[in-house]
Amino acid sequence: MSQKFDLVVIGAGPGGYVAAIRAAQLGLKTACIEKYQGKEGKTALGGTCLNVGCIPSKALLDSSWKYHDAEESFKIHGISVKGLAMDVPTMISRKDTIVKNLTGGIAMLFKANGVTLFEGHGKLLANKQVEVKGLDGKEETLIADNVIIASGSRPVEIPPTPLNGDTIVNSTGALDFTEVPKRLGVIGAGVIGLELGSVWARLGAEVTVLEAMDKFLPAMDEQVAKEALKVLTKQGLTIKLGARVTGSNVKGKTVTVEYENAEGAQEITFDKVIVAVGRRPVTTNVLADDSGVSLDERGFIFVDDYCATSVPGVYAIGDVVRGPMLAHKASEEGIMVVERITGQKAQMSYGLIPSVIYTHPEIASVGKTEQALKAEGIAINIGVFPFAASGRAMAANDTTGFVKIIADAKTDRILGGHVIGPSAAELVQQIAIAMEFGSSAEDIGMMIFSHPTLSEAVHEAALAVNGHAIHIANRKKK
């Protein structure tokens, strides 16, 4: 006999597991289906984010930065280090422990909230029925009043550099190197490529990033992107723009990558290559032919502003739908959908989703860029405050970058915030909160910030919008 649920969620990533927990909190009888198995061969919740994405990469970024800091910066503080060495297996083991603790924590939250977990592959059938093919091969059909598809995404593979699990890997394989490669190639200068390239460059790898586009970080504010390129290059990453990879040749433990740029055909040899050219939605074999759910030509599920699909009662969230592939976007979509199912008028502020690149310095943004606003013909005022003028940043010997706030010239309402520098991810969130409540630059300027803090850079940038900054010379208005 089939089991019936108020809600069935396909996928236990940051969108799915959050939706399932919130649904259970709101009194819905909820099931969540997940098939991913971790290193130990057991079902691991949390999706790409917790298992092979956001969390493990940040663990390696933090470990590698501490090593780099000890090697390059401790001496300025009067600290001498002798015999400094990096134990890569220990670093990887630490990362694995963090992942295990977090994924296990979700399992406990499921139990605490009464979410029923099905271990296996979920597939949406007609009439909101969901087929579950268990890890043991047994099949079961669930009947649902509502279904949320949260099956996530997987790395894109490209024909010129087929993965072999050894010399050519994707972002998942790059999290488990057993030693620092001498020569590392990274295909793609996006978030994933820059973060993973940074990890291994800090530990001594010669890193070359091949990016097909002529522009660096095109989605970011141009002033921030220009600073990021300068800083990352100074840190040792060789970033080749306009370099389109055309082929590869694996020979023993090395791989020669062929690419074309403005100067013609080129080639370069590496010990390891990371393919990080983006991600694609996981919708293959998730929808039966008669499910009624529509896809676009790239495999994304069509949804409206509230993540409803073409089938009443069926929703899709996260990486399988339009918009940025970000864990926090997926989580908030999951909450929005569940709350709307239960009669609340929840909605998403899609224009205020922060984006972060966890290099060092961090790069973060929210809202619109200077270039986008000018293209729309909107008159703006801009305030920029450099961390070089921040007392707290100086004390921490971390003065690279700046805070940039953009406001409407007529209303002073904040339209965008962009940060490159220490704790950029945390600082841009302050700007995002202000924007959510429709704050003006003057509003932030009138707030009292603790001293000395990095947050004061946000305060000063807001003051600078209207020529009122205290700790830098203000730009003369034209």
Which residues are catalytically annotated?
451
Residue among 450, 436, 444 at smallest CA distance from 462: 444
Express the helix, strand and coil content of the chain in percent, nearest 5 each.
Answer: 35, 25, 40
How many helices (H) does the chain have, and how many strands (E)? 12, 21
Residues 6+ apart with CB under 8 A from 34: 11, 12, 16, 43, 45, 117, 118, 119
CB 56 within 8 A of CB 102: no
- HSE (side-chain half, CA atoms, 13 Å) at 264: 0
d(CA 80, CA 163): 42
**In this structure, are residues 147 and 313 in contact, taking their beta carbons and an 8 Å threshold?**
yes
Please give the structure tokens belonging to residue 372. Answer: 């986008």
Q: Looking only at Cα atoms, what is the longest distance across the chain? A: 75
User: What are the backbone dihedrals phi and psi of residue 364, each rounded to the nearest 5 degrees, phi first?
Assistant: -145, 150
- Which residues touch 123 (CB under 8 Å, ≥6 apart)? 10, 130, 131, 132, 133, 285, 286, 287, 288
DSSP code per residue over 362-397: EEEEEE--HHHHHHTT--EEEEEEEGGG-HHHHHTT
